[in-house]
Structures are given as structure tokens and as C-alpha cells.
Amino acid sequence: MIAPALMAALVTALAAPAFADGDAANGEKAFRKCAACHTITEDGPSRVGPNLYDIVGRTTGAVDGFAFSAPMTELGEEGHVWTPEELDRFIEDPKAVVPGTKMAFAGIKKPEERADLVAYLLSVSPGAEAGAD
């Protein structure tokens, strides 16, 4: 018999999207949902939301000149960093992950679409450790 804690860990691991298996080209298409509020180019401006270029590995709430919500700023001050896993959670349900966020996006429920989007964000994050297995 499998211990409940081990079973929970296995279910979580099996359910987690494989970002390495995400398709960055599909993620670029999925980013269109984000492009109304975010840019993704190096040195691109912030819009309603911050520029997301090099987001993976960035401290939360750390875009110069952008007025983040208090909860986002507090997360960054506590040392929170955007990892692929954290981005996946946030993209799925922003308001559940960061209550009080100003982001007015309901989220993306499909795990495959989120994996593709995170793969795209990884592809435009030169500061992230690329290819680390």
C-alpha cells in the first residue's frame, strides 16, 4: 500500500505540466491573450501590466517604473522569484495565487496551453538557466 503522502506527491508530479515539453511556438500564439496588457521584448515598455521579457528568474514586483499592487510588491520583498512552476500557478488563477493583484485576467485553465506559454516565457528569458536538466 502506498502512503498517503507519497500518493499525493506522485499525483502532483504526474499532473504537473512538463515545461520542457511545452511548445514555445504555440506559447507565442497563446501570449496573444497577454499582449493587450504586456510586452515581451527586451527593453519594451510596460503597459497596463509589466514587461515580461526575462520574467523567469526575476524577483516578483521588480520592473523599474511599474506600479505593482501591494501584494505583488510584498511577495518580491519576501524573496519570491518567478520560476516556471510559479508562473504556471499564477497564469492558471492569478487572483487565487496573489490575492489583491491588480491583474484582471481570469487565467488559463488548460495545462497544455499554460505549459506552452511558460515554454515561450522561458524562451524569452535569457537570464534563466537554459537547458538545466
Catalogue all structural domains in the chain, each as residue range(s) with its CATH number: 22-123 (1.10.760.10)
- Residue 81's DSSP bridge partners are 59
Q: Pick the more confident residue, 56 or 130.
A: 56
Task: Quote the pLDDT of residue 20.
Answer: 63
Q: Among 5-14, 46-55, 110-119, whose mean pLDDT is lowest?
A: 5-14
Cell numbers describing residue 97: 495565487
Confidence of residue 7 (pLDDT cuts 50, 70, 90): very low
Confidence of residue 128 (pLDDT cuts 50, 70, 90): confident
Average pLDDT, the chain: 86
* C-beta separation of 114 from 17 below 8 A: yes
- Give phi and psi for 122, each to the nearest 5: -65, -40
Count of CA atoms in the C-beta half-sphere (13 A) of 11 = 7
